[in-house]
């Protein structure tokens, strides 16, 4: 599967998913996909949140908690889901407040090997 096929599957198979993308560790998108009619700028989201994500990863390692593998940010506007593919790339998804977040987490875990194979 290509990155685009994986992203399309995640968005279409998750109720309430707006968009998903593969981003580099600097927040720049490698590929992204948005549900029809959604205006979601994952590039801006990735870049704006990158320093906070970096700090959380460092804090997790420094406190002996282990490597940060995934995280969810919940705001009034919805959820942002991040899952690391490797040290340089991560999956970022934007979801509505009422989205089925558990389904996205399950699908992302199931597709982790496909994401790594697409590198």
Query: The domain that contains 72 carries what CATH number?
Result: 3.30.450.30
Closest CA to 46 of 34, 64, 32: 32
53 has a pLDDT exceeding 90: no
Query: What whole-number distance in Å separates Cα of residue 5 and Cα of residue 117?
Result: 13
Binned at pLDDT 50, 70 and 90, residue 49 comes out as confident
Given pLDDT bands bounded at 50, 70 and 90, which one contains residue 43?
A: confident
Does 87 score more than 90 pLDDT?
no
Q: Structural domain tally of the chain?
A: 1
Question: Domain range holding 110?
Answer: 3-117
Residue 34 has pLDDT above 90, yes or no: yes
Q: Which of 64-68, 73-77, 109-113 has the lowest mean pLDDT?
A: 64-68
Question: What pLDDT does residue 93 have?
Answer: 96
Average confidence (pLDDT) over 103-110: 96
Q: What is the pLDDT of residue 57?
A: 83
């Amino acid at each position: 599967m290509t990155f685009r096929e994986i992203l399309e599957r995640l968005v279409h198979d998750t109720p309430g998913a707006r968009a998903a993308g593969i981003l580099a560790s600097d927040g720049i998108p490698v590929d992204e996909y948005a549900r029809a009619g959604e205006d979601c700028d994952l590039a801006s989201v990735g870049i704006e949140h990158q320093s906070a994500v970096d700090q959380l990863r460092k804090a997790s390692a420094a406190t002996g908690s282990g490597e940060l593998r995934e995280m969810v940010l919940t705001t009034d506007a919805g959820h942002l889901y991040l899952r690391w593919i490797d040290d340089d790339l991560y999956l970022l998804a934007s979801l509505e407040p009422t989205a089925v977040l558990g389904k996205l987490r399950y699908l992302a875990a199931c597709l982790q090997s496909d994401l790594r194979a697409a590198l």
